[in-house]
Structure 1
Amino acid sequence: MVFYRPDQAMASRLESVLDALDSEGRPGLRNSLALTWIRYESTQPLAGQGMGTGWNEARLTYPASVVKLFFAVAVERWLQRDLLPDSEELRRAMRDMIADSSNDATGLVVDLLTGTSSGPELHDERWQHWQRQRRLINDWLSSLDWPELASVNCCQKTWGDGPYGREKLFYGADNSNRNALSTSATARMLEAVMTGAVVSPPACRRLQELLGRPLDPDQRKADPENQVDGFLGAGLPGGVRLWSKAGWMSQARHDAAWWQLDDQPPMQMVVFSWGRDRSQDETLLPDLARALSEYSVAESD
C-alpha cells in the first residue's frame, strides 16, 4: 500500500524510460536504482492527492545527505514542543545543512536534537544512555505511524571522512546501523513538507524556503555544489520552481525534488542510485527528470 494512487500509464512510461536508459550504456540499471514518481492534479494539492508509480521504492538504502531533510523537519517538531530553544545559531545551521549540505552544520543539528555529542568511546550506563538519546529521531518518526517509515534509520550524523570514536562504535562493526531510507519514505516526507501536512503550515513554509533551489545558470555556475547540476533539477524545463535535497558520495547519487511550472500542478520525484558507476553518472538523474517531467506536462495539458 502506498500513499498515492497507483497510475498504470505512469508505470508503463517509467518502464520504457528505464529500458532506454539501460540500453544507453547503463546495463543492470534497475539493480542500482530506486525511484518514486508522483504527480498531482491540483495546483495546491493536499497530502495524499497524488498519483504515481515507483521502482524498488520500499528498498532501504543509505540516503547520504537526503537524510538532512528529515533532520530539518525534526527541528521544527522539537521547536513546536519546546524541546529545543530557538536561536540564530540553530537557524544558521539549518540553512547551511539544507542549502549547502554542510556536514558540520548537520553535526550540530543532530547534537541539539538528541542531546548527544561526538567524542571518545563511552562505556556501560553512559554508553547505553547515549544510544537511547541518538534514537530519539527514530522514535519521533515511528510516532507518525506512516507505513513508509517502518524500519527507516535516521540516527547518524553525516560525514566527510567518516565517523570516529563513539560515532564509529555506534555504526556497528559491519555498518549495520547506518542511516537508511527508502524513496517512498522520502517522497512522503517531502510531500508533507510541501503541502503543509507535517508539524504546522508555518513550519512547512520555513522548510520550503530552505529547500528552494535557483535554476538560473549564472547562480549555478557561481556555486559548483548547487545540488542542481548532476541531479534532477538539471533536467527540468526552463521556468520551473524547484525545491530539493540532494545526496552524493563515492557510492551514491540521490535526489528528492518537487517542482512546479507556472500555473500547472506540481510533481515530485525521489531517486536513489548506488554503486560507483551511478555515483559518477552526472547525466542519469537529469535524464530521468527530463523524460518523466515531459510526460507529466503532456498528460496535464
Structure 2
Amino acid sequence: MAFYSPDQAMGQTLRQLIGHLEAEGRPGLGEQLSITWLRYGASLVGAAEGLGQEAFWGQAVTGAGWEGERPRYPASVVKLVYLVAAEAWLQRQLIEEGPELRRALADMVRDSGNDATSLVVDLLTGTTSGPSLPPGRAAAWCRQRQVVNDWLARLGWSEVVGVNACQKTWAEGPYGRERDFYGSQLENRNRLSTDFTARLLHAVMAGAAVSPPACRRMMALLRRSLDPQERAADPENQVDGFLGAGLPDGARLWSKAGWMSQARHDAAYVEVEGKAPMLLVVFSEGRARAADATLLPAIAAALLDA
C-alpha cells in the first residue's frame, strides 16, 4: 500500500485525463504510463522540520496513482536516489566531504551529467568501471554494487519492493564489467516506481530525508528556472518537454527529469500561487513516448488545474 491516501475524485480525474490523452492519438498510452499525483493543503517545503519521523510520516497525504507500483526503467531519475544516498553516506562519514564531490553532485542533478554520476556511484559503492572480471572478483564487485539497494531496503518503505538502483547511467552504454553486471538480457537494469520516487521526493522537499540541512542542499540542486531566456540558453534544460513546461509563469519548481530513446520521465514538486501545491511523478515508456515532448506538459497543466 502506498504512503498516501487515495482520493476517489483525484483518481477519477486521472483516469479521465489518461483516456483523453490516449484518444488524442496516443494508442496504448495506459500501458506505457505510470503516474503518482499528490496534493497538499499547504507548502510541503520544510514541513517535517521539528517533527519526529513517526509524526511526519503519520500525517495524511492525499493522492492518486496510475500503475504507480509498477517498476520501470527510470533513466536519469535514478540520480535522485544517488543524490539522497550521497547525503546519507556523508552523514555517516562513509565518504569524505569535498569540493569535487559537491561538483559531481551538482553536475549530476542540475545538468544530469552521466560522467558525474559515474563518480558518485564509485564513491557510494567503492567500485570502479573497467574490463570484465574473473568470476571470484566479479562476484565481490557485484555484491559491493548493491549497497545502495541495501540502504533503501533498510528504510522500511513498502514502495521499495521492486526497486533496483545499482547501475550507472550512460551516454553510449556500459562496457566490460558494467555490461556483464547488466545481465545478458539486461535483467539487472535500474528500476523505480513512481510511488517510490514520489515518496523519496516528498521526503526531500519536507526535510525528512537524512536531515533538514541535507534536504536544503538537495533542494537547491533540484530547483529549476522557468525563465524562457535561461531555458533557451540551456538546450539540455529539464523543463522543456517535461512537467515544468506545463506550468504558468511564476510557478516554483523542483524536479529531476529522465530522457532516453525509450523513455521520457519527470519527478516534480510544484507550487503556484492560488493553487494547491502538488507533487507529480510521471514515467512514460516506448519510442513514441520518448519523442512526445507535449505529453508531460499536458499532464502537469491538467492536474494543476484539476
Shift of 1:102: 0.2
Shift of 1:222: 0.4
Q: Is the 8 A contact 2:36 2:194 kept in 1?
A: yes
**Equivalences for residues 180-191 of structure 1 within 5 A:** 180-191=191-202
Shift of 1:212: 0.3
| 1:171 equivalent in alignment to 2:177 | no
| 1:146 equivalent in alignment to 2:154 | no
**Equivalences for residues 106-185 of structure 1 within 5 A:** 106-185=117-196
Q: Is the 8 A contact 2:18 2:30 kept in 1?
A: yes
Shift of 1:264: 5.3
Shift of 1:50: 2.0
Q: Is the 8 A contact 2:6 2:62 kept in 1?
A: yes
Distance 1:256 1:195 in 2: 15
Q: Which amino acid aligns with 2:75?
A: A
| 1:12 equivalent in alignment to 2:12 | yes
| 1:37 equivalent in alignment to 2:37 | yes
Match of 2:242 in 1: 231
Q: Secondary structure at the match of 1:159?
A: coil
Distance 1:293 1:138 in 2: 33
Q: Secondary structure at the match of 1:177?
A: coil
Aligned residue among 83, 94, 97 for 1:72:
83
**Equivalences for residues 215-226 of structure 1 within 5 A:** 215-226=226-237
Aligned residue among 205, 210, 215 for 1:199:
210
Specify every segment of 5 or more residues in structure 2 that has no aligned partner in the other structure, as ranges.
49-55
Shift of 1:125: 2.6
Superposed CA deviations along residues 176-201 of structure 1, whole A, max 9, x for unmatched, are: 00000000000000000000111001
Q: Which amino acid aligns with 2:18?
A: L
Shift of 1:8: 0.5
Match of 2:106 in 1: 95
Distance 2:227 2:165 in 1: 33
Shift of 1:263: 7.1
Q: Which amino acid aligns with 2:12?
A: S
Aligned length: 295
Q: Secondary structure at the match of 2:199?
A: helix
Q: Is the 8 A contact 1:41 1:50 kept in 2?
A: no
* Superposition CA RMSD, Å: 1.1
Distance 2:106 2:274 in 1: 28
Q: Secondary structure at the match of 2:305?
A: helix
| 1:270 equivalent in alignment to 2:281 | yes
Superposed CA deviations along residues 76-111 of structure 1, whole A, max 9, x for unmatched, are: 000000000011000000000000000000000000
Shift of 1:265: 4.4
Match of 1:298 in 2: none
Q: Which amino acid aligns with 1:39?
A: R
Shift of 1:14: 0.8
Specify every segment of 5 or more residues in structure 1 that has no aligned partner in the other structure, as ranges.
296-301
Q: Is the 8 A contact 1:122 1:166 kept in 2?
A: yes
Superposed CA deviations along residues 1-27 of structure 1, whole A, max 9, x for unmatched, are: 111111111011111111111111111
Shift of 1:123: 1.3
